[in-house]
Structure 1
Amino acid sequence: MPNSSFQSSIPEPKTQWLNVILLWVAGISAAMQFAKFSVSFDGLLEHYQMGPTSTGAALSAVGIAGLIFGVSAGMIASRFGYLKVLVGALLLGGSLSLIQSTLPTFNVLFVTRMLEGFSQLGVVVAAPTLIAKLSASNHKSLTMGIWGTFFGVAFALCGWAGKNILDQYGLQTLFLSHGLFITTIGVVLFFKLRKNPVLDLVPVTEMQDGFLRQMAKIYQNPRALLPSCVFLFYTCTLVSVLTYVPGLIGDSTLQKLMMVVLPLISTGGTFLAGAIAQYLMRPQRVALMAYCGVASSVLLLSLISGSPELFCLVVGAMVLFLGMVPGSALAMIPTLARNPSEQAQGYGLLAQFGNLGATVGPPTFATAIAAYGLSGLVVLILCICCFGVLFSLWAGRIKTVS
């Protein structure tokens, strides 16, 4: 009795908002590893003369590490400590950006991009875990919602500030600026969090089964697999659309504007999908609606390419629908999962499939657009939407957990 009254008198830890925001900034700096190559794609083409497919492969090479180690990354981070993994990943990313600022040979550049994948994966695994630890229970949904915007915000910032740096000072300064930014946030987080009492206890997970056996079980479970398949075709498309579609706009002013606006529209679509899935319909139906909206928009896009303003409007609608896909896929996992273990499997597989899409998408889109222009883009997105619709319907056939 005395113990229980004593425990009830202990105040719940407050949300450490400054540290949460700093961790969010770390996520932005990691997502800029994709965004900096997206905004500088034309400059890289001109400097290295390697063609759109090879340069597109360099853009997507960041996803290779997550593709291979996505499911097991959380286990690795919990063994070494989330803060150590986060700071190490940020400092690695900073070092690689500084190497890229020297504009080395293309082969060296490609290797640095693959190594950046380990940096990006470390941040994506460790930062949200630390955010959850530093958040009060009544703020966790809010802080994780803030975290979820990091990718779109990174592309918007690179489309604005990064594009200005690129136009005025060139590729070297762009990569140098990113290197200084990601290194600085790594150093700041180290000194801010190294003695934080909330982070003193770091869980250690044990290997309960062989890695390959664990992977086989996850892939055989449709409740974990299908949300990831829905998510796959989104990641395959989004980075490519944000990279290549602005170049199809005939007005240079509108091109710059869309580099900033499109990532924000995508982020808005993700929040919208979450709200619809919460209050109006099952997330599987939201995903189905989103892919149908993307397909309708891209069909309309092929008909109005002569008007830059109307083209931008339809692209905005397409990206809004596209942004709804991750919101619905993330909502599917707790809806379909029967227990916490299954839910964790779903999120791990989502990370792996997301990196698969980000790796395969850019070189595929670059090749299609280089060969067939806008028609290549339209046909490729329509094919992707067909698969997205198929897996959304398949996921809808699974009975949800009451």
Structure 2
Amino acid sequence: MSRSSFKSPVIEPKTQWLEVILLWVAGISAAMQFAKFSVSFDDLLVHYQAGATSTGAALSAVGLVGLVFGVSAGMIASRVGYLKVLVGALLLGGVLSFIQSTLPSFQLLFVTRMLEGFSQLGVVVAAPTLIAKLSAPQHKSLTMGIWGTFFGIAFAVCGWAGKSILDQYGLQALFLNHGVFITTIGVVLFFILRKNPVLDLVPVTEMQGGFFAQMMKIYRNPRALLPSCVFVFYTCTLVSVLTYVPGLIDDAALQKWMLILLPLVTTCGTFLAGAIAQYLMRPQRVALMAYLGVAVSALVLSFVGDSAVVFCFVVGVLVLFLGMVPGSALAMIPTLARNPSEQAQGYGLLAQFGNLGATVGPPTFATAIAVYGLSGLVVLVLCVCAFGVLFSLLAGRIKAVV
């Protein structure tokens, strides 16, 4: 009998859906670090009397950390271990929320917001890397689409449950509840994942050389860089559209509904992109289709400004296509990355570029709309789409890792 007859059958890897969903919940808990300050902004203004500028800086301080340390976070996670970074980041977030629940001085509050930036960054780098590891190849784009919805879901939950807690029990209860939530998910994930045989938790030390040399190597790696280049034009556009477009609608009732519905529409687009990338086409093609859809919708907007209802519908279509961009960009990373270390670097770069877009986009769009109105918005969106299409095409030229 030949030796080959004794070979054991190949076992197809299976997606561990419970673990994937829990990691998604961890992402939601981290995104609530933005959402809890957004929903309580007016209450913070009243309590601290620090002025809108200072309070706004406290709100954005979490994102500034990602802007500065995004790439280095991916490098650190690949060396220390993804589960350690994830659990440590979640527990740090819990401790900081507990401190905030005491309503400390504004200076201490600002420090906790800066530290929350490290907590949030650790989660958005480590969690998707672990999700990709726990997903079967045939489900990776789908699970990345699910992961990509965490930010919109966090804002929706905070706008619903968080606002209710805030109105009934005040700021302290809001921050305390978030602390309990983020700490609990951190503890649960530690006990569920620490002995998971699928996860290779040995730190990766393959990258040699100095810190800055490693960073430049990441920036020169198209497998990590191009998904982030696709993503950055989404963040600079979406934040601006959600902020400024409702103000272009004259009908107050429609304006109120748009503020509620647009974040949900973009979340649907993100999940839809993950499903399409999983079953119909490569993520790069999905990103290309999404940016073309945004461009066409923007062109149509310039002709329907007289009808508020039609204008709102076209904006909804635009935001749906725009929401497909992060789903496709997130799906690109495990598709193109050659190992978990490269994946973590890709997610770190994505976080950095995402914060760059969210920082640069709003003032740019605000200026264009203030000077040129709807025409300024349309032209700027078309310029953004041109770059998005370019980088989607470049990403499409890279061969996927099987």
Task: Report TM bin, short chain.
Answer: 0.7 to 0.9
Q: Which residue of structure 1 aligns with residue 267 of structure 2?
A: 267
CA positional deviation for 1:275: 6.2
Range moving further from structure 2, 114-123 or 294-303: 294-303
The aligned amino acid for 1:16 is Q
Distance 1:145 1:59, change over 3 A: same
Matching residue of 1:44: 44
Rounded Cα–Cα distance in structure 1 between residues aligned with 2:172 and 2:311: 32
Instruction: Give 2:391's aligned amino acid.
Output: A
Larger deviation, residues 58-67 vs 391-400: 391-400
Counterpart of 2:397? 400
Q: Are 2:54 and 1:54 aligned?
A: yes
Deviation of 1:120 (Å): 0.9
1:383 CA drift (Å):
6.7
Q: Aligned partners of 2:349 and 2:331: how far apart in 1?
A: 14
- How many Å apart are 1:386 and its aligned residue? 4.7
Q: For 1:128, give the aligned amino acid.
A: P
**Is contact 1:160–1:256 with CA below 8 Å preserved after alignment?**
no
* 1:256 to 1:142, Cα distance in 2 relative to 1, 3 A: same
Which residue is 1:286 aligned to? 289
Aligned to 1:323: 323
Q: Which moved more, 1:26-35 or 1:255-264?
A: 255-264
**Structural mapping, 1:132-211, within 5 Å:** 132-199=132-199, 201-211=201-211
Provide closer, same or farther for how the CA distance between residues 213 and 283 of structure 1 changes in structure 2, counting only shifts above 3 A: farther
Counterpart of 2:387 in structure 1 is 391
Which structure 2 residues correspond to residues 331-346 of structure 1 after superposition, within 5 A?
Answer: 344=343
**Do 2:266 and 2:323's aligned partners in 1 also have CA atoms closer than 8 Å?**
yes
1:107-164 Cα offsets, whole Å, 9 max, x none, are 3222211111111111112222222333344443433332222222212211221222
Unaligned runs of 5+ in 1: none
**Structure 1 residues 209 and 379: CA distance shift in structure 2, 3 A:** farther
Amino acid at match of 1:127: A
Q: Which amino acid in the other structure matches residue 286 of structure 1?
A: M
Q: 1:42 and 1:241 mapped to 2: Cα distance?
A: 22
CA distance in 2, matches of 1:86, 1:182: 11
Whether the 8 Å contact between 2:44 and 2:55 is mirrored in structure 1 is yes
Q: 1:351 corresponds to which residue?
A: 351
Bigger Cα displacement from structure 2, 311-320 vs 123-132: 311-320
Amino acid at match of 1:289: L
Structure 1 vs Structure 2 CA RMSD: 4.1
State the shift of 1:93 in Å: 0.6
Q: CA deviation at 1:350?
A: 2.4
Q: Which amino acid is the alignment partner of residue 392 of structure 1?
A: G
Distance 1:48 1:310, change over 3 A: farther
Shift of 1:92: 0.6
Name the CA distance, whole Å, in 2 between partners of 1:184 and 1:236.
33
Distance in 2, matches of 1:202 and 1:41, equals 42
Tell me the alpha carbon deviations over residues 156-206 of structure 1, each in whole angstroms, 9 at most, x when there is no partner. Answer: 211221222223223222222111110111122222223333336424223
Query: Against the structure 1 CA distance between its residues 350 and 191, is the aligned structure 2 distance closer, same or farther, given a 3 Å change threshold?
Result: closer
**CA–CA separation in structure 2 for the residues paired with 1:247 and 1:176:** 34
- 1:356 Cα shift? 2.0
Distance 1:58 1:380 in 2: 30
CA distance in 2, matches of 1:162, 1:232: 29
How many angstroms does 1:71 deviate by?
Answer: 2.0
Distance 1:379 1:190, change over 3 A: farther
Name the CA distance, whole Å, in 2 between partners of 1:196 and 1:334: 20
Unaligned runs of 5+ in 2: none
Report the more deviating stretch, 285-294 or 340-349. Answer: 340-349
Kept after mapping to 2: 8 A contact 1:297/1:317: no
CA contact (8 A) 1:61 1:359 kept: no
Alignment correspondent of 2:71: 71
Cα-to-partner distance string for 1:337-364 (whole Å, 9 max, x where unaligned):
69779975655432320122234556x4
SS at match of 2:103: coil
Q: What corresponds to 1:107 in structure 2?
A: 107
Q: Distance in 1 between matches of 2:243 and 2:104?
A: 22
Cα distance in 2, alignment partners of residues 123 and 342 from structure 1: 15
Structure 1 range deviating more: 374-383 or 72-81: 374-383
Work out the CA distance in 2 between the residues paired with 1:72 and 1:59.
23
Give 1:27 shift.
1.1
3-state SS, counterpart of residue 102 of structure 2: coil
- Give the TM-score of the pair, scaled to structure 2: 0.78
Q: Distance in 1 between matches of 2:135 and 2:338?
A: 23
SS at 1:199's partner residue?
A: coil
Asked if the contact 2:145–2:330 (Cα under 8 Å) also holds between the matched residues in 1, the reply is: no
Q: Distance in 1 between matches of 2:339 and 2:189?
A: 30
The residue that corresponds to 2:116 in the other structure is: 116
Cα pair distance change 1:227/1:260, threshold 3 Å: same
**Percent of aligned pairs with the same amino acid:** 70
Q: Which residue of 1 aligns with 2:98?
A: 98
User: Following the alignment from structure 2 to structure 1, what is the Cα–Cα distance between the partners of residues 51 and 247?
Assistant: 16
For residues 11-33 of structure 1, the C-alpha deviation after alignment (integer angstroms, 9 at most, x for no partner) is: 44543332222221111111111
